[in-house]
Structure 1
Amino acid sequence: MILKNMFLTRVVFMLLFLLPNLAVAANQLDSVRIWAAPESTRVVFDLTQVPKYDSFTLTGPHRLVVDIQDTGAKVNLDKIANNSKFIKKIRFSSPPKKGILRLVMDLTKPVKSSLFTLPPTAPYGNRLVVDLEDTDGRSSAEPTVRRSANQSSRDIVVAIDAGHGGEDPGSIGPSGMHEKRVVLEIAKRLARKVDSTPGMRAVMTRSGDYFVNLNKRSELARNSKADLLISIHADAFTSPQPNGASVWVLSMRRANSEIGRWLEQKEKHSELLGGAGEIIQNTDNEQYLAMTLLDMSMNSSMAISHSIAGDILRDLDSITHLHKRKPESASFAVLKSPDIPSILVETGFISNPGEERLLSNGNHQEKLANAIYKGVLRYFQSNPPADTLLAKSSSTKHSVKRGESLSIIAQRYSVSVNSLKRVNNLKSDVVRIGQTLVIPGA
């Protein structure tokens, strides 16, 4: 009896010792996915449980080493699709001790890495994410301003943002359709229409299936000197009934909070206000002047956003049901920059079976892109920025008469003297009798 009890005690002790290790060791690496963007790469390790991990870098050659504790793997890393310009290959390596899964990324150059975990979200489970970014600070999306041959006018730049992407599928429809794919198709169609319009140019925040940080999207628009940012999404709800398109603009609450953050960063003033930012840095009332100028910029941008949103809703109403007939305000992150007119278009409810079928249809995607394009074009034809090619092509001409000055002509057409000078490439306020001036849209 005593021997039996001693045997049972040993068995219980061994089970108590082994079970925790077995439970943790049960973590498995199921798959590895690489999402390559032009200036960054995201690597996702799909695991059965929340991972405990560590990482470090090596040079000669450049490598990133990731150790995941108490994890096994049955993944063939040679079969992973890899189109990243930063990663040569991902391979297994000898671990420092038993129970650790060591993964090595052979890199083409030094990169900045950041690692974090993500909880299960359909259609994915537990994930360990590795974000790699270029360290040289250069971007292929450098600010460019395309001008006409005589350098006196520029294109209107429309930044087009296809929501979600890569690891973030967005909303998923009843049949399994991902929002990220639908909105990218619509965004590409819209970009082609903008690029085919003389005097207009499209810049896409993403052109493929990869994720772009939400803060980066507004930054890309600003770096491209965009006149407008359009973010394209597909709505979703917990029940299948809601349907229809809507257009959203930045809420005043979000705009005011963003301005508050900008005012705390003096280095942002020049970026946001151009030369004015450099001037006010040398004044005693810098914060007051910055607040005034930013507030003026915000009011102008939000007024433009509302006007364009209204134009787009008119055209969407002719081709699809509207969920909201007037522009709505929200605190969406992609609308965070009150210095850039920004709108978010919900093209329909992907959670509604009928609209999911429509959104996956190429003809309907074309109609949606055309409705958005028509609204944007109509606004800029009526209100072209003074230094743009569209301002010249949609403007009127004025022949200078005796007794007329530049300020008198500007007052007559309700435009500024500076806009007249920019559009006509004038170096001074002097005009000649009989000189023909281009009058930009008022």
Structure 2
Amino acid sequence: MKNNNYIIKSCLLLLVLLSSVAAANQVQGVRVWPSPDNTRIVFDMAAAPVHKSFTLNKPERLVIDLSNIKGGSTLPQISGESALIKAIRSSGDANKMRIVLDLNKATKTSVFALPPTPPYGHRLVVDLFDDSPVENIPPVAIRAARDIVIAIDAGHGGEDPGSIGPSGFYEKNITLPVATQLARLINAQPGMKAMMVRTNDYYIHVNKRTEIARGQQADLLVSIHADAFTSPQPRGASVWVLSMRRATTEVGRMLEQTERHSELLGGVAEIIKDSVNERYLAQTVLDLSMNHSMITAHQVASEVLLELDRIAFLHKKEPQAASLGVLKAPDIPSILVEIGFISNPQEEKLLKSASHQSKLAQSLFTALKRHFEKSPPADSLFAQQRSREHRVSAGESLSLLAQRYNVSIDDLRHINKLSSDSINVGQTLRIP
């Protein structure tokens, strides 16, 4: 009998303990991360949240009910704001809390829990998607002397800090300043134009990054990251391109998305009217597009490694192939640049340095410019400038070339930075 009483008391005590643990959850922080087309709200929790959610309209609201909450119904101070959110308020009693997001417009919503990922603990995440159409640059007819568009993707951002260095520094706080400086250099170069995928500290899904680049008709996507490993020894930069296996998978997947064929096939879609029945023709076009993108990406990656080798240690001396989501666009050559190991204490210190970030940006710019000078898009200013070059043959003089191209000798001297009228066989001259 005494044993039975002991067992009963033990069970009751266990139930009380479990009940107290279950009721021990608490909202410890609220962070709002706005971006151009969506907003993420993160509720930091003491334990895994038990939640339900639903929407109401007139006025527009998102309601979240949390169970097993202690500490009253008051939310902690909210960090950040968004144009989609009018207010965030709460109420509750006993062990429950109701959180209401008053919205300025109807939006699609997603509510889900995330497990601990350093530096964060348990989280309840709310994504609000702006239902306004994405502003894409409308297709234009091919015209002469257009700018070459480089999409620059600063890795991670917002709720996603990326890798974390030994001193606690976040990868996202390294990639953005390097990307910003690279964009500044590109925009200062006539014939080139930078387009920042992420302009501030907010989260963008990896699939959305390629869509943003495509919407801006990018000629190249450059994604900037900092590497990490479980031990502090590895160091150095590397450049990654899409693996053939992932490329083949992506082409097959895109063939199934018939509603996107016109977007992916470009002007050829006007010829392939029925891309479902003409599947093999569509696949051939996509294969050719992907093949061109992969070749171009490999060429760019090689140029980038050549420049990075001048200012940094290389972890890998050749372009590396991987199945990375940000590289998967069949119509946009894409590379991912790991500018160093943030997990290496010495390299983390270097990556945090403003002077080293400037050197990295300059190296990337030099490599990209050199690639497009060698292989410019046919309708670009770079191509136009390249077509106005002349390789000197035997018997030619500066005055003869000035007469042939109907330009002045002074202009020829000036554009080619010549101190005299002397030119050499095999020399390449720019023609104004």
Is the shorter-chain TM-score for this pair beyond 0.5, marking a shared fold? yes
Whole-angstrom distance in 1 between the partners of 2:385 and 2:193: 16
The yes-or-no answer on 1:143 pairing with 2:141 is no
Cα distance change of structure 1 residues 18 and 5 upon mapping to structure 2, 3 Å threshold: same
- The residue number in structure 2 matching 1:127 is 123
Cα distance change of structure 1 residues 368 and 315 upon mapping to structure 2, 3 Å threshold: same
Contact map agreement 2:27 2:76 (CA 8 A) in 1: no
Whole-angstrom distance in 1 between the partners of 2:113 and 2:178: 31
1:83 Cα shift? Answer: 2.6
Cα distance change of structure 1 residues 74 and 243 upon mapping to structure 2, 3 Å threshold: farther
- The residue number in structure 1 matching 2:108 is 112
**2:136 alignment partner AA:** E
1:189 Cα shift? Answer: 0.6
Whole-angstrom distance in 2 between the partners of 1:129 and 1:344: 28
1:387 Cα shift? Answer: 1.1
Whole-angstrom distance in 1 between the partners of 2:140 and 2:256: 33
- The residue number in structure 2 matching 1:287 is 279
- The residue number in structure 1 matching 2:41 is 43
Whole-angstrom distance in 2 between the partners of 1:216 and 1:5: 63
Cα distance change of structure 1 residues 384 and 59 upon mapping to structure 2, 3 Å threshold: same
1:27 Cα shift? Answer: 1.0
Instruction: Judge which range, 208-217 or 15-24, deviates more.
Output: 15-24
Q: CA RMSD in A?
A: 2.4
Matches within 5 A, 1:39-438: 39-73=37-71, 77=75, 79-94=77-92, 98-136=94-132, 138-139=133-134, 141-143=135-137, 152-282=144-274, 286-396=278-388
1:80 Cα shift? Answer: 1.5
- Please state whether the residue corresponding to 1:129 is helix, strand or coil: strand
Contact map agreement 1:246 1:313 (CA 8 A) in 2: yes
Instruction: Judge which range, 48-57 or 354-363, deviates more.
Output: 48-57
- The residue number in structure 2 matching 1:439 is none
- Please state whether the residue corresponding to 1:309 is helix, strand or coil: helix
- Please state whether the residue corresponding to 1:277 is helix, strand or coil: helix
Contact map agreement 1:29 1:75 (CA 8 A) in 2: no
1:338 Cα shift? Answer: 2.4
Cα distance change of structure 1 residues 310 and 7 upon mapping to structure 2, 3 Å threshold: closer
Whole-angstrom distance in 1 between the partners of 2:55 and 2:353: 46
Contact map agreement 2:74 2:90 (CA 8 A) in 1: no
Cα distance change of structure 1 residues 22 and 381 upon mapping to structure 2, 3 Å threshold: same
**2:137 alignment partner AA:** P
Q: Deviations over 1:53-105 (max 9, x none)?
A: 1111122221111111111247964731223111122111246xx42211111
Cα distance change of structure 1 residues 37 and 397 upon mapping to structure 2, 3 Å threshold: same
Contact map agreement 2:74 2:91 (CA 8 A) in 1: no
Contact map agreement 1:145 1:155 (CA 8 A) in 2: no
**1:51 alignment partner AA:** P
Contact map agreement 1:301 1:340 (CA 8 A) in 2: yes
Contact map agreement 1:171 1:235 (CA 8 A) in 2: yes
- The residue number in structure 1 matching 2:403 is none
Q: Deviations over 1:125-174 (max 9, x none)?
A: 111110011123x12x42267999xx633211100001111111111001
Matches within 5 A, 1:8-23: 15=13, 17-23=15-21
Paired residues, what number?
390
TM-score (norm 2): 0.85
**1:381 alignment partner AA:** E
Whole-angstrom distance in 2 between the partners of 1:390 and 1:311: 17
Contact map agreement 1:244 1:322 (CA 8 A) in 2: yes
1:18 Cα shift? Answer: 3.4
- Please state whether the residue corresponding to 2:311 is helix, strand or coil: coil
- The residue number in structure 1 matching 2:410 is none
**2:347 alignment partner AA:** E
TM-score (norm 1): 0.83
Whole-angstrom distance in 1 between the partners of 2:109 and 2:276: 41
Cα distance change of structure 1 residues 383 and 15 upon mapping to structure 2, 3 Å threshold: same
**2:304 alignment partner AA:** I
Contact map agreement 2:151 2:220 (CA 8 A) in 1: yes
Contact map agreement 1:145 1:154 (CA 8 A) in 2: no
Cα distance change of structure 1 residues 316 and 13 upon mapping to structure 2, 3 Å threshold: closer
**1:126 alignment partner AA:** H
- Please state whether the residue corresponding to 2:70 is helix, strand or coil: strand
Contact map agreement 2:197 2:209 (CA 8 A) in 1: yes
Cα distance change of structure 1 residues 162 and 274 upon mapping to structure 2, 3 Å threshold: same
